[in-house]
């Protein structure tokens, strides 16, 4: 069977695409810090370009990169330090009030459980004695499990520390040479395909800019929402927890989960009652519904032209395929795919196959 030149070219590009996808999946853990740095470089390059245009020349570009990266790292540190007041205030209270909370659970739940024939001691002293007895009886197995956990945790911690160091370094060089890197990548495109690729990248760049602005609006709006909601319930640490939850939403699900956990801990230590679960259920439940089904689809989905169902599907699909990194790049990658789908649809509508 003879293949036409068009079929041969299509097969070659398909094979290249398959090889690239397989390489990305195989090298996922290694590429993660570079991918994160690349996304940050794309978002921060316009700011660097503005500062660079003010001064002009190579040295101002270097200074602009240093200033922008320092400002970015300062913003990240400010977000991280929002948790510090929570930890500094709540950890001593946790050490003091945990026995009281367990005693209250023992007083309230033990009689209720006894009605169903379930007799268990929920007081802090009994739980501590049971834990010590279990460890003494199963010392070897427990020690092995703990040691395995320590090794796994140590490797994860080492990888995390490595990424924390590597991402700023990669970001610095990407910001410094972003234009040259983009130019070198575009040079690999065959000249006859260059006009179409330039048009595609320009449209994708416009869509991604809309995405970043929409995501920023979502983060700020949800930071105000969570801070106000927690403050209305009387939580002392409403501002740091609410602001952190909103701003950490650039990592879908993870930022929300950490903020939810912080709110539960702070509420239990302050209220020591069921009011905590009422507060978390109302504020975070309404916040998740408002953000997931209205705010993100409207401010992000509509700006990049994605239907609300497409936004939800993109998050789930990329998380399933690429894990945590997929969650990070789901919507930006969907925006680029959207441009490709639009062009493919236009080509199909104008083709002889469609028009008969």
Structure tokens at 186: 């575009």
Q: What is the dihedral of CA 68, 74, 78, 79, to 10 degrees?
A: 50
Alpha helices in the chain (DSSP H): 5-26, 28-55, 58-81, 83-114, 124-137, 139-176, 178-187, 194-232, 238-247, 254-271, 275-290, 302-304, 308-349, 352-355
What whole-number distance in Å separates Cα of residue 20 and Cα of residue 30?
15
Judge contact between 272 and 94, C-beta under 8 A. no
Distances (CA, A) of 75 to 45, 71, 81, 207: 16, 6, 10, 25
Per-residue tens of pLDDT for the chain, all 356 residues = 566 777 777 787 788 878 877 776 777 667 778 878 887 888 888 888 888 777 665 567 888 889 999 999 998 888 777 767 666 766 676 666 666 666 666 676 667 767 776 666 555 556 555 555 654 555 455 445 544 544 444 555 556 667 778 889 999 999 988 888 888 888 888 888 788 878 878 877 887 777 777 888 888 899 999 999 999 999 888 888 888 888 887 766 667 888 888 888 888 777 777 788 899 999 999 998 888 788 877 777 666 666 666 767 777 777 777 666 676 677 677 777 777 787 788 877 887 777 76
Closest CA to 61 of 176, 173, 207, 141: 176
What whole-number distance in Å separates Cα of residue 316 and Cα of residue 310?
10
pTM: predicted TM-score of the whole model, two decimal places: 0.64
Judge contact between 39 and 60, C-beta under 8 A. no
What whole-number distance in Å separates Cα of residue 255 and Cα of residue 83?
12
| Per-residue pLDDT, 138 | 55
Determine the 3-state secondary structure of 356 from DSSP: coil
């Amino acid at each position: 069977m003879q293949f036409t030149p068009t079929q041969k070219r299509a097969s070659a590009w398909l094979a290249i695409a398959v090889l690239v996808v397989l390489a990305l999946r195989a090298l996922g853990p290694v590429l993660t810090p570079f991918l994160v740095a690349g996304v940050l470089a794309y978002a921060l390059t316009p700011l660097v370009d503005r500062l660079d245009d003010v001064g002009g020349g190579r040295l101002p570009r270097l200074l602009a990169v240093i200033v922008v990266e320092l400002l970015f790292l300062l913003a990240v540190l400010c977000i991280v330090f929002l948790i510090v007041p929570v930890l500094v205030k709540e950890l001593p209270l946790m050490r003091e009030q945990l026995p009281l909370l367990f005693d209250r659970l023992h007083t309230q739940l033990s009689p209720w459980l006894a009605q169903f024939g379930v007799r268990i001691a929920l007081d802090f002293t009994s739980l501590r004695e049971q834990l010590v007895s279990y460890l003494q009886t199963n010392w070897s197995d427990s020690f092995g499990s703990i040691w395995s956990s320590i090794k796994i945790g140590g490797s994860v911690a080492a990888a995390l520390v490595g990424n924390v160091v590597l991402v700023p370094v990669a970001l610095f060089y990407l910001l410094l040479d972003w234009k040259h890197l983009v130019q070198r990548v575009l040079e690999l495109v065959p000249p006859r395909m260059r006009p179409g690729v330039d048009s595609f990248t320009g449209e994708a760049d416009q869509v991604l800019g809309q995405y970043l602005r929409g995501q920023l609006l979502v983060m700020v709006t949800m930071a105000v929402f969570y801070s106000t909601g927690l403050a209305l319930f009387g939580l002392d640490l409403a501002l740091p927890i609410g602001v952190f939850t909103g701003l950490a939403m650039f990592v879908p699900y993870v930022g929300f989960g950490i903020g939810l956990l912080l709110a539960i801990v702070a509420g239990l230590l302050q209220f020591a009652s069921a009011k905590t679960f009422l507060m978390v259920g109302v504020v975070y439940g309404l916040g998740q519904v408002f953000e997931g089904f209205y705010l993100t689809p409207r401010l992000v989905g509509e700006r990049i032209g994605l239907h609300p169902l497409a936004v939800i599907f993109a998050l789930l699909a990329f998380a399933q395929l690429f894990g945590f990194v997929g969650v990070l790049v789901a919507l930006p990658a969907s925006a680029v795919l959207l441009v490709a789908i639009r062009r493919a649809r236009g080509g199909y509508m104008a083709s002889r196959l469609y028009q008969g």
